[in-house]
Structure 1
Amino acid sequence: MASSLLKELTKEVFSKNISKSRSSTGKSILDFKFKKDRCRLLSQHEDLNENSKGVIYWMCRESRVQDNWALLYAQKLSLKYKVPLYVCFFLEDYKELYPTTRQLEFLRKGLKLVEKELDALKIPFYLLKKSPLELTEIIKVNDIGCLVCDFFPLKIVTEWQNKLKENLSEDVAFVQVDAHNIVPCWVASDKLERAARTIRPKILKQLPKFLTEFPEVCKQDKKTELKIDSSLLWTKNDKLDLEQLEEISWAEPGEEGGFEMLRTFLVDRLKYYGISSNDPSKNHQSLLSPWIHFGQISAQRIALEVSKAKTVWKEQCEKYLEEVIVRKEICDNFCLYNPNYNNLKGADSWAQETLNLHRDDKRDYIYKAEQFAKGLTHDPIWNSAQVQLITEGKLHGYMRMYWCKKILEWTESPEKAIEIGLYLNDTYSIDGSDPNGFVGVMWSTCGIHDQGFKERPVFGKIRFMVDYSLSRKFDIKSYCAKYRSNAQASSGIAKYLAAKKPEKQNEEQKSKETKLKKKVARNEESHGQPSKKKSKI
């Protein structure tokens, strides 16, 4: 792909190219050699019995139609055994995963588009209330022969699947398909990997086998409906008891919105990736995380399209592919093989030891969760990052590291730091409650997938970050100014920023803050940076 062709990659051309790539693999999934390694059998058998009258795909993590190996596998069985295919999505229990209307509305709007696309293919879609355990009765009443589900390594989803497994009849096949990772998680590794360097060669070895084009999900001959109690059907009047939070404006839910963000990344931002993408004052990241998280776009599709640009920007492409393949997939590995992925027990022994050794170290500041949530710390850089998280539902990757490490520095214990970090991330981030988020907090707080560094108070041997290093690397002043302006302009953030102020500092703490500011100023000057007067957001 030449540079000039990238510039001419309009929305229409991009869409046509992808459709053409899919259709070139065959008329249907039956013409495609499906890799059974993508599947994991949860029941005693995978074949449908002779009395089966359908296949259900329980959509959970992958809320898209095309480029979805789980849906494709379900359709493969449907076509092979000549029975109808149905798709079900249970929305009510998602309040366990997403605590605010911000995430729910992004998901729900995407599901509306999924329903419309499936309807055109004569595949029934059911948005359902209550628990996925209701599938047991639906399967029984409709003589369903196989249930296909997504791979999602978080504990609550695994619990749903295990309970279903216990309650399903023995003659019903139950198959899980990893449609989220390019190399299926259980194929990449059968154990907990300690660092990217250990899982990388395993993934790269398998990549040529699994990084293939997708066939299309094809149209069914006729549309048949499931027998479902009407009380289970989600209606437009149904609501979940969630915290009300402004929806994000920069990301359009659904596959089309995801493809447009991918196209603009290829055309406008990919050339900067790995060069200035770590600069929070510049907009040079892919910005694809919301669609990947909700399964509205496939990471495999992203990798296929980015790979086509290697002839133009090889180094940038390779750096991004490292992120969207290796770095993303090690997060699923961590959550699959470590039941303590959300607490200190999940850290390596060296990290637990060093954090426990420094547990009682004196902190210069200690903030409560509410003060963190409202951006009411003494540090304008941290406050700006929190404002970005609240107003945009995202946080620049480099700033996220600083943001989370300071929570460790300003809380009474590493356990509390993990708790607050996960709470803030899962509440405000559009891609919260994700393996990537759990690993991000655990990496920052207790050195997951990292190594030990020079020992220091509070952190022990955990990697440390300081504010004046940001000033040396980036135009952090413009970053802070931008989000101070965002805070003032956004009505939605007013209720967060106008609430309870931090407790009044005593004279001793004020003195410490003054000394700290002077020390930071001296450090900045010693590195050729002008001394900056800090002001609160």
Structure 2
Amino acid sequence: MNSERVRVCNEKPIDANKPYVLYWMQAYRRFDANHAFSHAVQLAKELKKELIVYEGLRMDYPWNSERIHQFILEGMFENQTRADELGIQYWPFVETSENSGKGLLKDICKDAAVVVTDDFPCFIIPKQTSQLAKKIQCQLLSIDGNSIIPLSRFPKQASAARILRLWIHKEIQKDFPNPNVTIWKKEDLMGVKGNSKTNPKIGLPKSISEVIKRIPFQNQVSPVKNVKGGRKEALRFLDEFLKQKLNLYLTKRSEPNRPELTATSGLSPYLHFGWIGLEEIFYAVLKHSTKGKWNPERMSHEKPGDRENFYSPSVACNHFLDELITWRDIGYLFFWKDKPENINLNHLPDWVKANFVKHNNDHKEYLYTLEQFESAKTHDEIWNAAQTELVHTGRMHNYMRMLWGKKVIEWSKSYEEAFQILEHLNNKYAYDGRNPNSYTGILWCFGLFDRPWFPERNVFGNVRFMSSESTKKKFKLNSYLEYIGELSGKSNSLFP
């Protein structure tokens, strides 16, 4: 394991007298191609200990809902099947009103020689990790499996994608990282099997639908029909993207359309919950675009920072990998150093803050409440379509998401209220919400990672402006709007 990926979270020792190594699966909910799981296996073998994998699902996380819960549970059931195939001890826990998780993980850690977990920099995970590190008596290690390059290599946040792109390209050329794309076999894990007794609270329910009925969700959001969590779905989406959409990515990815006609991967929720790794996608895309002949020497060593040509001869491939790596990493790096529990507008650049002070009292032609936004009841049919897609499908087309965010800023009483509305709607409905890129995507609408734009405008000042009128001119929206009409059960004539 590359030491750059390992962070010691407390000053306590490894306890060689305890029977097992515990992998606490928090963010990267898979066994294969997982740096943290691999490190836990390595430690178990070195210490000659059993390996236990604990995956828990609490019921009180912020923005909890039946939609998100079912998605996660589907992945947990798959993990149980995979653990059985590999012959390893997998301890899943699903909290309900009758089956409280209070103190459970601490109790499990009493017999751990060392605990390994995922170093995910956002949402509730950093706080959960730091709290457990203080409570337990053994060492807790947090493993960065977030991207191709360990995030510890970067000395600070990047203020723009063009800057981070240059950093990434130079780092890859200087010292190409050792990827983890390990697909485990049962014989690989023979030395870490054991028979430690589980806590009686451990185990998956017989039925996802039955356990969901026993959870008092704060948010009533239904699962989306035909959307399923888990690694098998992630790999299916990747295969479909490679075969049908990758070559169209450059020219068609920004055009709003039905999902099956949109040249995007659909992998964001599966990356967020860790059922597939960025490194897996990276290599699959490059092997596909070079017919299996890719290696690091095929990268362009002449122009670090060039997103058109750096990774492979395929421009479409390079643009996808730039989104996958540069634009994803800029969000993760934004959270990485400080791991703030609460994100707000204070995290914006000074030039944006100055704009908002200047334009705080600008006249706004339209003002809407959270309830009006949530129910897609604005004057703007294009915005309503984007919100309808989010509510009904748990996703939103990438271009529409930018327009969606900009309009909420324009139609809210204050910038702070706009941020809170966007955070709530995105995290409540989106399968890929509650993620570093969720927050930096929202903050991009306020000017993060962007530059001043001219002329200066009402409400936005020099922050980039977007309009539904220009979107109508830029794209043929008939197919997209017909699709939204079908989702909402409304006549297509509502969308001329």
TM interval, short-chain normalised: 0.7 to 0.9
Q: Aligned AA for 2:322?
A: E
Per-residue CA distance 1:406-432 (angstroms, 9 max, x = gap): 000000001011100111111111111
Contact 1:153 1:336 in 2 (8 A): yes
Change (3 A) 1:337 1:438: same
What pairs with 1:132-147 in structure 2 (closer than 5 Å)? Answer: 134-140=104-110, 142=111, 144-147=112-115
C-alpha deviation, 1:81, in angstroms? 1.4
Q: Does 1:293 align with 2:272?
A: yes
1:252 and 2:248 matched: no
| 1:275 counterpart residue number | 251
Partner of 2:238: 262
Structure 2 matches for 1:13-28, cutoff 5 A? none
Amino acid at match of 1:412: K
DSSP 3-state at the match of 2:452: coil
Taking the TM superposition and a 5 Å limit, the aligned residue runs for 1:60-99 are 60-92=26-58, 95-99=60-64
- The equivalent of 2:16 in structure 1 is 50
For 1:137 and 1:122, locate their aligned partners in 2 and report how far apart those are by CA, in whole Å. Answer: 24
Find the aligned partners of 2:285 and 2:102 in 1 and give their Cα distance.
36
Aligned residues: 454
The alignment's TM-score, normalised by the length of structure 1, stands at 0.80
Aligned to 1:191: 156
Pairing partner for 1:151 from 91, 101, 119: 119
Counterpart contact for 1:279–1:398, Cα < 8 Å = yes
Q: 1:357: how far off?
A: 1.4
How much has 1:136 moved relative to structure 2? 2.5
Provide the residue aligned with 1:529 in structure 2.
Answer: none
Q: Distance in 1 between matches of 2:2 and 2:81?
A: 29
Whole-angstrom distance in 1 between the partners of 2:449 and 2:178:
25
Secondary structure of residue in 2 paired with 1:273: helix
- In structure 1, give the amino acid aligned to 2:429: Y
**Is 1:84–1:224's contact at 8 Å kept on the other side of the alignment?**
yes
RMSD of equivalent CA atoms = 2.3
Within 5 A, what are the aligned runs for 1:288-437? 288-311=267-290, 314-337=314-337, 339=340, 342-437=343-438
Match of 1:209 among 141, 165, 176: 176
Would you say the 8 A contact 2:10–2:134 is kept in 1? Answer: no
Please give the per-residue CA displacement for 1:281-337, whole angstroms capped at 9, x wherever unaligned.
241111111111110111110001001133377101110010111111111111224
- Counterpart secondary structure, 2:53: strand
Rounded to whole Å, the distance in 2 between the matches of 1:122 and 1:232 is 17
- 1:219 partner SS: helix
User: Which sections of structure 2, spanning at least 5 residues, go unmatched?
Assistant: 292-312
8 Å contact kept, 1:213–1:304: no
Q: Distance in 2 between matches of 1:226 and 1:350?
A: 57
Which secondary structure state, in structure 2, belongs to the residue aligned with residue 209 of structure 1? coil
Contact 1:147 1:173 in 2 (8 A): yes
The answer to whether the 8 A contact 1:211-1:304 is kept is no
Q: Which of residues 121, 127, 140 in structure 1 aligns to 2:92? A: 127
1:214 CA displacement? 2.4
SS at match of 1:181: coil
4+ runs deviating over 6 angstroms: none
Deviations 1:352-381 (A, max 9, x none): 111121111111111011111111000000
Q: Aligned partners of 2:341, 2:356: CA distance in 1, in Å?
A: 17
1:4-37, Cα deviation, whole Å (9 max, x unpaired) = xxxxxxxxxxxxxxxxxxxxxxxxxxxxxx3222
Equivalent in the alignment of 2:215: 240
Structure 1 residue 202: Cα displacement: 2.2
For residue 200 of structure 1, the aligned residue among 156, 165, 168 is 165
C-alpha distance in 1, partners of 2:376/2:10? 49
Alignment correspondent of 2:65:
100
> Are 1:78 and 1:85, in contact at CA under 8 Å, matched by a contact in 2?
yes
The CA distance in 2 between the partners of 1:229 and 1:362, in whole Å, is 60
Write the distance in 2 (CA, Å) between the matches of 1:252 and 1:50.
41
Aligned-partner residue type, residue 51 of structure 1: N
Q: Distance in 2 between matches of 1:198 and 1:45?
A: 38
* Partner SS for 1:253: coil
**Letter of the 2:181 counterpart:** F
Change (3 A) 1:380 1:112: same
- In structure 2, the CA distance between the partners of 1:43 and 1:76, relative to structure 1 (3 Å rule), is same
CA contact (8 A) 2:356 2:461 kept: yes
Q: Counterpart of 2:228 in 1: which secondary structure?
A: coil
Note closer, same or farther for the CA distance 1:182–1:249 as it changes in structure 2 (3 Å cut): farther
Assess, with a 3 A threshold, how the Cα gap between structure 1 residues 279 and 342 changes in structure 2: closer, same or farther: same
Letter in 1 for 2:107: E
Amino acid at match of 1:96: Y
Distance 1:267 1:211 in 2: 27
1:458 maps onto 2:459 in alignment: yes
Instruction: Provide structure 1 residue ranges, at least 5 long, that are not aligned to the other structure.
Output: 1-33, 491-533
Which residue number corresponds to residue 307 of structure 2? none
User: SS of 1:146's equivalent?
Assistant: strand
